[in-house]
Chain A
Amino acid sequence: METDNWRRNKRVFFAVSVPQLTWLLIFFIIPLAAVFIISFSEKRGIIGHELVWDWKNYIRAIEPIYLSIFAKTLLTSTAVTVICLLVGYPVALAISFAPRWLKLALLFAVTVPFWINGLIRTYALIAVFRTRGILNFTLEWFWSIGASVLAWFGIEVGSYQDLQFLYTNVAATAGIVYVFIPFMILPLYAVMERFDKSYLEAALDLGAGHWRTFFTVLLPLTTPGIISGCIIVFVPSLGVFFIADLLGGTDSLLIGNVIERQFLGANNWPFGAALSFLLMYLTFAALILYSIVNKKSKKIGGVDV
């Protein structure tokens, strides 16, 4: 509509956008600019820093020890995203095919963790993963059943030895997956819910088996959901720190932990700021890479769904 064009009603547009722009300015642009400036400062004394406009912090940030942590963070986030996708895709599909009452119950189950603080949920995972925790108890139970069956055949196996889960990379990765998986399931579900199920029947009707129906019809038509789910999981998971802190071991250090320690532990704001900006550039690079790949695949695939 003519009146909806902001060019024609500049003052109206201005009036309605000022509150949001102010909010963005005060709580996003200014702090970001401050951190940007601090990244070019130098630590002075215990808590102070002074603007010197040099690249020293950035040069330190690309030292091999930090680069390896960046690499590990990228690897962990990629692993988390892939696991979330592999687990979340069938779950989202099952929800979209479920009868209405079950659908609502399942969606509720997916979203209910949002009601509880992430820190508390992570502490709960400690109870699962610790040496005498729920996971080890469960494994021990299966072990004892297996052992008693084997004993029937005269094979003796020793008693169950607790496995170390807590303070390992496995626990840290599982913890991050646990926190982020709803962010994968929900966008996937949103796409699958709108997906016309007769496409699947048509593929089946035309002679495709279930696997080929999946790869030639379902997967291409749910790609938008996969992409948005992966972005929503991958980008924030680059910056997590408390999960790795609580569940991970000494070698589970992610870049988020390093940044947190620079700001809070070491009181080296300038270096923390430089690391933060490097992480941000890394995220941008990943998103740009994605949009280039996406543009290419769209040209091949044809239609935007």
Chain B
Amino acid sequence: MGKTVLSIENIVKKFGNVAAVNGVSLTIQDGDFFALLGPSGCGKTTLLRMLGGFDSPTSGHIFMDGIDITDVPPNKRQINMLFQSYAVFPHMNVEDNVAYGLRMEKRPTTEINQRVQEALALVRMEEFAKRPPDKLSGGQRQRVALARALIKKPRILLLDEPLSALDAKLRGAMQTELVRLQQTVGITFIIVTHDQDEALSMATRIAVMDEGSFCQVDAPRVLYEAPSSRFVADFIGRMNMHECIVIAEQDNGYCINAGGDMGEISVRHAPLPGVRAGDKIYYGVRPEKVIFSKDKPADNVGNAVVLENYSYHGDETLLYCRSQDGTLWTCTLTNDRRNFTPVNVGELGWLTWAADNMILLAK
């Protein structure tokens, strides 16, 4: 960890007049499991394809180990890619697919055979060596594609929406598998995904992208607990987000007026550049940090609400409540006992949370 393996500077990619990637810069450390996360059409796949060498940027540079590789073709980069469709060659069996990259390097046969065995063992596909790809399931084909890319011992492996074609159960298993693989081989992984759950559970760092730019690049925990903008707060997980007014700047936070039953609250918070007393900003609190109770809270922040609707998910119940000033609130109820008391629509209650759980957002 710690050494920069890849850095990109001011990458712009235009298709006609539309900038798919709009001047992004980034450094990726050796051994990172890096995720590019964003809604579809945000430019994340375009960026990945430029890292692989399949598209060239309109302007900007890509450096690997300090060397400019912007114009190096894909077959000469120490970067390999796991394609969304896997692109396992249908006219070759599993073994030949995996050996393909080494044959292109014209390695001796004994070395190829040995490394193919190792690569197949790595993805647990030894028994399938002689199978043609059309006799494999989607998950197995993905393993073949993984072995085929990893056998080249690249510095970086790019993964383009690797789990999107798998069913939910298999997707969960593959998430763990990919993390295990990455830790075994020690290769830097850069994954493109639109699934926040995937990014949060696998990645060591995540770049949230929107409209061709990075919104925030941080560790998963930081992204979730301290988003830097309303877009990130809203895009990752659920968030109760409402307007408030800054009353005063304090030593290690702000005093805000959130209106309604809440009144003035002192929130411990990192400084927000440019925010002064009297500014209108936003505060947010995650649904799982909100408690639904029948009685008015003693010292926590709270808001009187009426339960409008709920959705039952087995392990938890999501409550949709409306406060007296008309704002909508979501609250998660963990069903931690078998005989928990069910809630009823129309019930009156209080939503409460600790002030430390509040996030202040200037933009």
Q: Could you tell me the dominant secondary structure of chain A's interface residues?
A: helix
> Inside 8 A of B101's CB, which chain A residues have their CB?
206-207
A202 interface residue per 8 A CB criterion: yes
B133 interface residue per 8 A CB criterion: yes
Determine the interface band of chain A, counting residues with CB < 8 A from chain B: 20 to 34
A303 interface residue per 8 A CB criterion: yes
Map CB proximity to B onto A196-227 as digits: 1 under 8 Å, 0 otherwise: 10110111111111001000110011000000
**B100 & A203 in contact (Cβ 8 Å cutoff):** yes
**A303 & B91 in contact (Cβ 8 Å cutoff):** yes
Instruction: Give the nearest-CB partner of A219 in chain B.
Output: B91
Which of B83, B105, B134 makes the CB contact (< 8 A) with A303? Answer: B134
A305 interface residue per 8 A CB criterion: yes
Instruction: Give the nearest-CB partner of B52 in chain A.
Output: A205
Instruction: Give the nearest-CB partner of A197 in chain B.
Output: B87
> Inside 8 A of B148's CB, which chain A residues have their CB?
206
**B74 & A199 in contact (Cβ 8 Å cutoff):** no
Which of B83, B104, B133 makes the CB contact (< 8 A) with A198? Answer: B83
Instruction: Give the nearest-CB partner of B151 in chain A.
Output: A206
> Inside 8 A of B149's CB, which chain A residues have their CB?
205-206
**A301 & B80 in contact (Cβ 8 Å cutoff):** no
A158 interface residue per 8 A CB criterion: no
CB distance from A117 to the nearest CB of B (A): 41
> CA A216 – CA B73 in complex, angstroms?
19
> Inside 8 A of A205's CB, which chain B residues have their CB?
52, 54, 74-75, 80-81, 149
CB distance from A295 to the nearest CB of B (A): 16
CB distance from B355 to the nearest CB of A (A): 51
B152 interface residue per 8 A CB criterion: yes
Of A205, A209, A221, A301, chain B has the most CB atoms within 10 Å of the CB of A205
**A208 & B104 in contact (Cβ 8 Å cutoff):** yes
Instruction: Give the nearest-CB partner of A301 in chain B.
Output: B91
**B134 & A198 in contact (Cβ 8 Å cutoff):** no
> Inside 8 A of A196's CB, which chain B residues have their CB?
85, 87
Map CB proximity to A onto B126-139 as digits: 1 under 8 Å, 0 otherwise: 00000011100000
A19 interface residue per 8 A CB criterion: no
CB distance from A201 to the nearest CB of B (A): 6
Which of B87, B132, B152 makes the CB contact (< 8 A) with A201? Answer: B87
A45 interface residue per 8 A CB criterion: no
B342 interface residue per 8 A CB criterion: no
> CA A305 – CA B132 in complex, angstroms?
12
> CA A203 – CA B132 in complex, angstroms?
18
A64 interface residue per 8 A CB criterion: no
> CA A71 – CA B73 in complex, angstroms?
49
**A199 & B93 in contact (Cβ 8 Å cutoff):** no
Instruction: Give the nearest-CB partner of A220 in chain B.
Output: B91
Q: Do A199 and B104 form a contact, CB below 8 Å, given A204-B75, A209-B75?
A: no
> Inside 8 A of B105's CB, which chain A residues have their CB?
207
Which of A208, A216, A220, A302 makes the CB contact (< 8 A) with B75? Answer: A208
B89 interface residue per 8 A CB criterion: yes
> CA A111 – CA B93 in complex, angstroms?
38
Map CB proximity to B onto A291-305 as digits: 1 under 8 Å, 0 otherwise: 000000000011101
> CA A216 – CA B103 in complex, angstroms?
11
> Inside 8 A of B90's CB, which chain A residues have their CB?
221, 303, 305
> CA A207 – CA B93 in complex, angstroms?
19
Of A199, A212, A221, A302, chain B has the most CB atoms within 10 Å of the CB of A302
B92 interface residue per 8 A CB criterion: yes
> CA A182 – CA B85 in complex, angstroms?
32
> CA A208 – CA B102 in complex, angstroms?
10
> Inside 8 A of A202's CB, which chain B residues have their CB?
81, 83, 87, 89
Q: Do A302 and B83 form a contact, CB below 8 Å, given A206-B100, A207-B152, A208-B104?
A: no
> Inside 8 A of B54's CB, which chain A residues have their CB?
201, 204-205
Map CB proximity to A onto B233-272 as digits: 1 under 8 Å, 0 otherwise: 0000000000000000000000000000000000000000
**B74 & A303 in contact (Cβ 8 Å cutoff):** no
Of A204, A206, A220, A301, chain B has the most CB atoms within 10 Å of the CB of A206
> CA A178 – CA B165 in complex, angstroms?
45
8 Å CB interface, B33-54 against A: 52, 54
CB distance from B208 to the nearest CB of A (A): 26
> Inside 8 A of A216's CB, which chain B residues have their CB?
100
> Inside 8 A of B91's CB, which chain A residues have their CB?
220-221, 301-303, 305
Map CB proximity to B onto A266-305 as digits: 1 under 8 Å, 0 otherwise: 0000000000000000000000000000000000011101
> CA A204 – CA B87 in complex, angstroms?
12
> CA A206 – CA B74 in complex, angstroms?
8
Which of A199, A201, A204, A212 makes the CB contact (< 8 A) with B89? Answer: A199
14 CB < 8 A contacts A-B: A202-B83, A202-B87, A204-B74, A204-B75, A205-B54, A205-B74, A206-B152, A207-B75, A207-B152, A208-B100, A216-B100, A221-B90, A221-B91, A302-B132
**Closest 8 A/B residue pairs (Cβ):** A206-B101, A202-B87, A207-B104, A198-B87, A208-B104, A204-B74, A198-B83, A303-B132
Beyond A202-B89, A203-B89, A212-B104, 4 additional pairs, beta carbon < 8 A: A198-B83, A203-B100, A205-B54, A206-B80
